[in-house]
Structure 1
Amino acid sequence: MPDRPRSTGYTVELLFDRDCGFCVFCVGWLRRLDRRGRVTAVPLQQPGAVERFGVSADEALERAWAVDSRGDRHAGAGAINAALSGILGGRIPLWFYRVWGVRQVQDALYRLVARNRHRLPGRGGSCAID
């Protein structure tokens, strides 16, 4: 993502674990979709990254985090919706995420995926450790 010209408008920084094979797989997928360079993936292992997102190392390992160009911070399924919003250049996925019921379903699915990420594409790394 850093090779592409940055777009003005709605942008997102996404904090991810580069030691997690599934996280790296997902970031690769986001990079392919992000043709305008609106989403920047930042590995939590990068010096100062965790502090820049305002989370602890444990929180960063627990779930994905995103900060958008408005300064709003998102976690878990919200962070994924923020990244998708960045790719689209608008906040539609985040608006949809705020609908009662949608948030609860997406949060439950996010927790299910997070618990089973060692079984998903991109296996290996720290996610494979039980």
Structure 2
Amino acid sequence: MPHLVILYTPNVEADAELPALCRVMADAMLAQRDDQDRQVFPTGGTRVLAYPAAHYAVADGSGDHGFIYLNLRMAGGRSDAVKKRVGDALLERLKQHVAPLLAKRHVGITLQIDESPGLVYDGKCGNLHPLFQAP
């Protein structure tokens, strides 16, 4: 963790440049520092995934309106100040990236951050983390 999942209406895909948005958001996550100037999110655990909605209805149906929903899910343990800085930084990068899209069409955008304080199970498997650990 952290995982940022982006759900979007397919009618914004071309103008939102989703592959680039994924990279922009991952880079913004990796740039975050805590109060001790440590990286907030582990490089090997940072994932950004984007999915188009197969079916959707936005607003009143009077136009070809779009929607982008971003949900950052992270493990607990970070201060409220760090969580707010992360949210503000991600929202700022998001707004910069989608400015051309918003100039062309009406789109609702939501960014939410969830924290998982009471995990029931947290199984992990893979070999990605060792790539980014110092020897």
**TM bucket, shorter chain:** 0.3 to 0.5
TM-score for the superposition, normalised by structure 1:
0.35
State which structure, 1 or 2, has the greater radius of gyration over its C-alpha atoms: 2
Structure number with the higher strand fraction is 2
TM-score for the superposition, normalised by structure 2:
0.34
